[in-house]
Amino acid sequence: MYIISTEVCVVGVAFIMVLDEVTFALEGFCDALTKMIPLKFHVIRQCADILSFAIIIVMTLFTDIPWSIGIGTVIGMVIFGPSLGMFMKLFKRMLVKEVSI
């Protein structure tokens, strides 16, 4: 159920990103980075997930914050970025029409 609900969220985020009308804060930041760094959006988005994961680990180890990483966090980190790339590519073909002059 968690993986299915994550994929439903990925479909929504991919749809919104392809329409390019409204963005979420993290996705907007990653989209801005794609204009500066020659990497695909979903790769930068997954790097942001990995960086967040690393920050949580460091904060947990060096402060009195209780351990907050579960298997769902790891699964989400691993599947969100690649799924986002797959669905964005699919939606881009479906929604964006090339204009030839």
Residue 100 pLDDT grade (very low, low, confident, very high; cuts 50, 70, 90): low
Q: What percent of the chain has pLDDT over 70?
A: 94
CB atoms within 10 A of CB 85: 18
Tell me the pLDDT tens digit for each residue of 41-96.
Answer: 999 999 999 999 999 999 999 998 888 888 999 999 999 999 999 999 999 888 76
Tell me the pLDDT tens digit for each residue of 1-46.
Answer: 999 999 999 999 999 988 888 778 998 899 899 999 999 999 999 9
